[in-house]
Structure 1
Amino acid sequence: MFDSDVLEGPDAPEQTLGNTAPSGLFGLELEFATGSLGSLSDAELVDAVVGFERLAAWAAARQAAVLAEFSQRSGDGSVRAVSASVPLREWASDEIGMALTVSRGSAQVRLAQTRRLSGVLRPTRDLLEAGRLCWSRTRLVCDRLALLDDTLAAAVQERVLPAGPGQTWAQLDAALRRAILALDPDGAASRHRAARAERRVDVFAGEDGMATLWARLTAPDAASSYAWLTRLARGLGADDPRTLDQRRADLLAAVLTGRLVLRDPAASDTVAVVPVTPGKPLITVLVPHSTLTGADDAPCELVGYGPIPAPLAREIAADSVWRRLFTDPLTGTVLEYGRTTYRPPAALADHIRARDITCRAPGCRRPAATCELDHVIPWNPDGTTGEDNLIALCPAHHDLKEHPGWQTELGPDRALEWTTPTGHRYRTGRHDHRVR
């Protein structure tokens, strides 16, 4: 991720290789500045990495403009042909495919993307050319909006694009899906019904005697299945030498091949695998109260997956197996916690996880339900155990925070400021529960 929520002081930030507008001349400047890498400081190396990323985005945007021009010339045969006897038209994808060493199909997709980036998605291409959005995320915008008409695509783009430069690929993907659900709820529900009808299981051959078992399920079923499998794996105990991933894989294979039958642990005639915690698997679904009551079809959120259509959220909420978080669509404040089928943690921990939703490290989307709660100011000697000093962090980022040179500060608005060992600063905000 680059061009994210880098903090700025009261004055304009000092110009570095990481914030200079990309151009052909900037490419020469980068080449000159990095000619002797050993002479650069750690911070300068990070800035150079960002600079090259921005330059690559600029080059991709310029290439997209060239491809769009080539594609448009081949669109109706009315403008310049290759020669008097060879009009472009249908040969465009073949020509570009051969030139770039890609398949004809890939070239067709590339040309279609660049045409749209020169049309309704031109604001997205402008961000790419400014080096503020990488090609991977630009392609994501094209892919997610490919089936939408220009009017709807423009509306989704307008809603999502301002925050795009500061988001990872996964965060931008979630924002795009959420915006599509909000602006086209009927179409989203229809697409979900069609996709649900395609649920299936498949197997793909791999290397070294391995294979992949693949399942297409509804998002709630997939999330719940994985959570339950994880509980079973952890229930095998700390003495089991296998990693958690290996345990999950072995348990899945044992259950599906009949080597292990899951039965009541109280039964005396079987050896049962007991989950680390009892009860049904926990998944968290954020549902605006107006959507739950059917007043609107605002997008909902399955934590750990992303936006889901309102009809699917209502279907989940109707089943008392699921935990529900009801939110105020005006203020984003958590109003009530469902408690019917899952024993909750302490009220304070529950509040922190509901507030943060995911790990508070920049770019991390691990659900807060599986994260650790960390004291920003260490409890020993003088940190307090309260809402103003607790955040959700996944184990990896919890460990990173404790390393020398890393600093975190939780502000009054619960925005978390990270300072890296090279002095770069980034900020993550608490989850906004409002409908967007």
Structure 2
Amino acid sequence: MDIEGALDTIQHCQKQIDYWQAQQVRALGEYAELTWQDEFASSEIAAMMRWTRNWTEDRLGVSRDLVTRLPATVDALEKGDIDLYKAQIIHTQTMPLSAEQAAEVEQRVLTKAPVQTSVQMRQRGRRIVMSVDPDGTRERVAEKKAARAAGIRSLEDDMAMLWINMPADKAMVSWLRVDKMAEEAKFPGDTRTLNQRRADVIADLLLATPDNASPVKVELLVTVSATTLMGLDEHPGELEGYGPISADLARELAGDATWRRLLTDPASGVPLDLGTTTYRPPAHLRRFLWARDKTCRMIGCTARASRCEVDHTIPYPKGPTADHNNGMFCTHDHRLKHESGWTITQPRPGTFKCVSPTGRVYTREPEPVLPGLH
């Protein structure tokens, strides 16, 4: 294959991808239309496709909107004039609009979308939305300002990203201040790049280091094997809410952490049995379940176990309050277990068998406390 042949193949494959993604959008939209009154309908697709529930519900919502309100966008996707990413941008930008306004924005955006990059299309779409719905734009600006927020996203290799959603003017002023402080932070012999100094400036501002001790105290929950802690091996540890961390960082954090002994099976890494005679799980059993389950036990759900609810697989008192009859489920999936046609059992401690209303069977096995060891 020569260069021309490679280019033609790339373009042909993208056209095929666009066509089949349009077919999936139509099918997802139809499913959403047929099941829109069923609160737990997304769980079937999430389990079948091994998608998370949030991702599934997002795909269903986007597809339903595209099929019912933005049919020209789906047609353009099917023909390969735009890709799925551009279709999703049009959906996002027209979500707050009336059907008539959405149709006008769609028609105007699609006139140039096939020859624009996604960034160009998004910028043009924003301007069109503002011109079509100026009053709504003012309301949305106020709503978005009230919804300002911050969070954290895990990255690879002991790194994470802090993010903040805030008004553009304050964001730009904050960024320029950080940038100026980073410029002034350079000293003779300083080998840090400007980006590294920016990151250090932000961390110092938040942590009040190195000159001032921060009055805010936080606790890091870290799991590490005893052999790693003693330097006998280099197995990765686990930082709750983040995931695997290097042996070096685990040992560093161990110096300031509060430790509780957690017995694990030496072959599988799964915690051993704990039990009690009361309905409400005591603190030690709850911590045990957090460590064993890590996340909600429903197929496709990744909600952190420490933010989930303890569920009795067999209702108490018929079923005991013990690890082999308890599991962590988020509020949504806890209700799914009791209020829908799903059947969830625990044939072995930590192993959950989920049978959907259509009879499909999905199994979620327990995860080792320190996956890297097994």
- What's the TM-score, normalizing by structure 1? 0.42
- What's the TM-score, normalizing by structure 2? 0.49
